Structure 1
Amino acid sequence: MSYSPLLTDLYQLTMLAGYLEEGMADKPAVFDIFFRHNPFQGGYAVFAGLDTALGYLENLQFTEDDLEYLQGLEIFRPRFIDFLRSFRFRGKVTAPPEGTVVFANEPLVTIEAPLAQAQLVETALLNIINFQTLVATKGARIVHAAVDGTVLEFGLRRAQGPDGGVSEARAAYIGGVRSTSNVLAGKLFGIPVKGTHAHSWIMAFPDELTAFRAYAEVFPDTCILLVDTYDTLKSGIPNAITVAQELRSQGHELVGVRIDSGDLAYLSREGRRMFDEAGFPGVKIVASNELDEYVIESMRSEGGRVDIYGVGTRLATCAGEGGGALGGVYKLVRIGDRPKLKVTSDVAKATLPDRKRLLRAVAPDGSFIQDVLCLADEDIAPGATVYDPSNPLQFVAIPQQARFVEIRGVVMEDGVRTAKSPPSLDEMADRSRDQLTRLPQGCMRFINPHKYKVSISAGLNELRLQLMDEVQRGYK
């Protein structure tokens, strides 16, 4: 999927024009993408969107039509238009693999490039990474709530536009939602496509049973019937049982039924009982209608017997407490040979300067202990003292038996991907599933989750305090 270089905010272009006039366009710069709070008031996030972002960077180029439009705005000088004509991204990108579990205040993606190149890509990268990481996280939460149930994504009609619908299906897959109703996403990404039929199919026929029979005749081996158009228990399921018997007599089996309204926990329990008593224990019960992790968890606690959860609106729009947007930001951490940070009166909100490594302390059993940020050239080993980034007076020692794992690696050099081929979506989804099982107990809780510790090294702590002091003394 390609994106226009005009997918940006105007101020990125005005800054580029200013950098060019000031002779700063080629000055080396380093930017970090990170978010300040875990989404959904949860205990983690699932990183996604990297492959899409790298594709954007690789193909970044202004067309003559783009340049003609910018010239028509009458705010840019001819020299700047000529500069854009040969503009390409030739920078370095460091990031974790997609599907990696990440946390607030950790650098997800680091861009190292001439200042003009690094500045222009801010808006598009945030758009891609913020949305897909948010969706992957929501998907992981929903899959966790479903436990051993299957989750089907069908949020296209409620997604944020066509591109949002496609990106959402991709990111949800990374979070563990491994099928979609979105046919285009199926084609582009190889995601299995699933679906049933709408209420309009039932209403288009003289009666419900006729509609069921017609659908079963067309799709005898993949038949899932929507049973709540009129009355789920008095009409829909009895008619579905009749069709199931007819299919079996012809050598086929009814795959399942979908319930899209009403008390889903109660209706799924009763539906399971009715199918079991009729001799169809293999018929799957699909539930849909404004589902999310909280509704699914509630249904399960009430004894619901749902096999497949169809999740649309609340996944596609990332609805819920702390949802709606990830809030990722893009901050300058080094320019030329000088580390930089954004300073506020609250040390907890000051950014972390300079190039950094992101390490994960892992216990002998493979479980995650905590993450540590250190300077790129800083040596750190188990037993080291690390500091709370929001309160430098609080510190702990990394257990001696732990080992450190590098979370990120270089994924693009000189504007070209370092990997010959990207990992598959299945590899990304498997990584997410595996890493979520390694989190400390309580991190997966929906309400008041355990707070996973992210610390900074002694060297990074010292540099940040030094730079803050320099800035503050400069204003006295």
Structure 2
Amino acid sequence: MFKNLTMLTDLYQLTMINGYFKKNTHEDIAVFDVFFRKNVCEGGYTITCGIDEVVDYIKSLKFSDSDLEYLKSLDLFEDDFLKFLKDFKFTGDIYAVEDGTIMFPNEPILVVKAPLYQAQLIETAMLSIVNFMTLIATKSSRVCNAAKGDAVLEFGLRRAQGPEAGLYGAKAAVIGGCLGTSNVLAGKLFDVPVAGTHAHSWVQKFDTELEAFRAYADIYPDNCLLLIDTYNVLDSGIKNAITVFDELKAKGHKPVGVRLDSGDLTYLSREVRKKLDEAGYNDAKITASNDLDEYTITALKQEGASIDSWGVGTKLITSYDYPSLGGVYKLAAVSDVNGNLEPKIKISENPEKINNPGFKKVIRIYNSFGKAEADLIMLNDEYIDTTKPLELFDPVYTWKRKLFENYSVREMLSPLFINGEYVRTKKKVYEIRDYANRELKSMWDQYKRIKNPHVYKVDLSYKLWNLKNDMVASKKKN
């Protein structure tokens, strides 16, 4: 879906690649992890999204002649390096979770194992794609969870931070749980439902509100949802809507409902519901919009608002209160002179920024009822024997331990590219959304709370914990 984004990278990626090339280490195999350090909106989980777009990006990697001409003009790179880039092709391995997978801080969601120069180049674009789409998918999930089964529609295109953010944000929002989008191009490209009726300008164009409603109903008699707050909801909007609904009913058509886009949504929706019911339109739906998010929807439902569906725009497509996921791409291992992978670690004064070294995998532990209980980050050569009890311990507060019996495990990462070849089959957006819903159902409710969620257990295997601590101690001595 993406156009060629080979040059969508930070300059230091290319200067480093050039340095590796000059030092003849560019073909060394490197392992990089993609992970995030905090859940979106300080919530209890994060829904991974953008893996399919990473696939499109990797498949299209190729420096054009104009790319190479531009790089030459920077006076940073010699001809031998530019000639080397001309034949660039990704030949490595990538392991990833599925789009729609729930993941947690510090867990690899993608692992790249490739020649160093290839792994280095793809960092920036890969993070740009996954950070944004994961952010919006998770924000959407939180909004949909707050709606408690009501339909939620993504209405944010005009407020998105650019056309591609609006497009791929709409896809991510549907994966996160929205039933559809107002974005027509997203509907076409991703085969998802589109929704929308008319704006205030339609009503303003006519001499009267009633005339505007009649005109709309005449054109769309079986899809008549009227925006009733252009002038006054209770004095004119709902009265005129009911007049038009009566006219539609007399012609054998069933109105869809009304939309509120301003004012006290709790009070107005209750009053509108009474008037619709009194007029015999118990099935007519009330849709609300107007700067909604998970917190507003939660409050409106607690107040007893009579709202059936929600159009959520700005605060969803921009993740208004939490504008960046902050995912990172960290070196975890490099091949030594014998071709063996040597673990690498970054030391920091901030303990949370010390990465987990080595070529790793993530295991999810489920109880006998299929509920997720904990995740375990392990070295790739480790194995769990599910016929035996499994003890996990907190990697910081090591005295906190939990013993699992009668459990099952699932390996979260699976091959995406092997030797540069894509080895999966893409799913449709609604298949991904259904999978994300199943993921949510496997999580206990305490992890899905909008505020102050319980912290899900993510532990390290004994082998990885010992490796990390030994490497930290060794680095400190140096």
Give your verdict on TM over 0.5.
Answer: yes
User: Which of 380, 386, 393 pairs up with 2:392?
Assistant: 386
Please tell me whether the aligned partners of residues 5 and 125 of structure 2 are also in contact (alpha carbons under 8 angstroms): no
What secondary structure does 1:214 align onto?
Answer: helix
SS at match of 2:445: coil
**In 2, Cα distance between equivalents of 1:33 and 1:226:** 45
Q: In structure 1, how many angstroms separate the alpha carbons of the residues matched to 2:84 and 2:162? A: 32
CA distance in 1, matches of 2:256, 2:391: 57
- Give the Cα–Cα distance (whole angstroms) in 1 for the partners of residues 384 and 351 of structure 2: 24
Inter-CA distance 440–249: structure 2 relative to 1 (3 Å threshold) = same
For 1:10-409, what aligned pairs fall within 5 Å after superposition?
10-320=11-321, 323-336=322-335, 337-382=341-386, 383-391=389-397, 393-409=398-414
Q: Secondary structure at the match of 1:112?
A: strand
1:445 lines up with 2:449 in the alignment:
yes
Deviates more, 1:343-352 or 1:28-37: 343-352
Structure 1 residue 62, shift from structure 2 partner: 1.0
For residue 459 of structure 2, what is the aligned residue in structure 1?
455
In 2, the alpha carbon distance for the partners of 1:318 and 1:208 equals 35
Residue pair 1:440, 1:452 contacting (<8 A) in 2 also: no
Quote the RMSD (CA, aligned, Å).
Answer: 1.2
Q: CA separation of 1:97/1:38 partners in 2, compared to 1, >3 Å: closer, same or farther?
A: same
User: How far did 1:361 drift?
Assistant: 0.7
Contact 2:146 2:450 in 1 (8 A): no
Q: Is 2:437 aligned against 1:433?
A: yes
Question: In the alignment, which of 466, 470, 476 is matched to residue 466 of structure 1?
Answer: 470
Match of residue 412 from structure 1: 417
Give the superposition deviation at 1:178: 2.1
Shift of residue 401, structure 1, vs aligned partner = 1.4
Rounded Cα–Cα distance in structure 2 between residues aligned with 1:240 and 1:351? 60
Contact preservation (8 Å) 1:130, 1:325: yes
Q: Which moved more, 1:50-59 or 1:75-84?
A: 75-84
- Aligned-pair CA distance for 1:188: 0.5
One-letter amino acid of the structure 2 residue matched with residue 46 of structure 1: I
Residues 254-307 of structure 1 show CA distances to partners (whole Å, capped at 9, x for unaligned) of 112110000111111111111111011111111000000000010000111111
Equivalent AA in structure 2 for residue 4 of structure 1: L
Cα distance in 2 for partners of 1:428, 1:389 equals: 32
Contact 2:6-2:60 at 8 Å conserved across structures: no
The answer (yes or no) to whether the contact 1:285–1:308 under 8 Å persists in 2 is: yes
Q: CA-to-partner distance for each residue in 1:38-96, whole Å, 9 max, x for gaps?
A: 11010000011000011100111111111111112222211121111111111111111
Cα distance, 1:159 vs structure 2: 0.7
Following superposition, the deviation at residue 390 of structure 1 comes to: 3.4
Distance 2:89 2:40 in 1: 33
Task: Return the alpha-carbon distance in structure 2 between the equivalents of residues 197 and 345 of structure 1.
Answer: 55
Percent identity over the alignment? 45
**Secondary structure of the corresponding residue to residue 394 of structure 1:** coil
Q: Which runs of 5+ in 2 are unaligned?
A: 336-340
How much does 1:356 deviate? 1.1
Which residue type is aligned with residue 419 of structure 2? D
What residue identity is the alignment partner of 1:120? L
- Matched residue count: 470
Letter in 2 for 1:326: L
Contact 1:12–1:120, Cα closer than 8 Å, also in 2 = yes
CA contact (8 A) 2:287 2:308 kept: yes
Q: Is the 8 A contact 1:29 1:113 kept in 2?
A: yes
1:369-398 C-alpha deviation (Å, 9 max, x unpaired): 10011111112345233332334x334234
- TM-score calculated relative to the size of structure 2: 0.96
Using a 3 Å threshold, how does the CA distance of structure 1 residues 348 and 66 change in structure 2: closer, same or farther? closer
Assess if the C-alpha contact under 8 Å between 1:95 and 1:410 holds in 2.
Answer: yes
- Report if the CA contact (8 A) 2:192-2:430 is conserved: no
Q: Which stretches in structure 1 are left out of the alignment for 5+ residues? A: none
The CA distance in 2 between the partners of 1:413 and 1:256, in whole Å, is 52
The one-letter amino acid of 1:31's match is F
Distance of 1:398 and 1:140 partners within structure 2? 31
Deviation, structure 1 residue 333: 0.2
Q: Secondary structure at the match of 1:306?
A: coil
Query: For the residues of structure 2 that align with 1:71 and 1:12, how far apart are their CA atoms?
Result: 16
State the SS of the aligned residue for 1:7.
coil
- CA displacement at 1:348 relative to structure 2: 4.0
Letter in 1 for 2:70: Y
Partner of 2:338: none
Q: Distance in 1 between matches of 2:315 and 2:296?
A: 11
Structure 2 distance, partners of 1:290, 1:388, is: 40
| SS of aligned partner of 2:446 | coil
Distance 1:463 1:387 in 2: 15
Q: Deviations over 1:140-197 (max 9, x none)?
A: 0010010121000011011111111111011111111120000000011001000011
Q: C-alpha distance in 2, partners of 1:260/1:433? A: 29
**2 CA distance for matches of 1:415 and 1:270?**
61
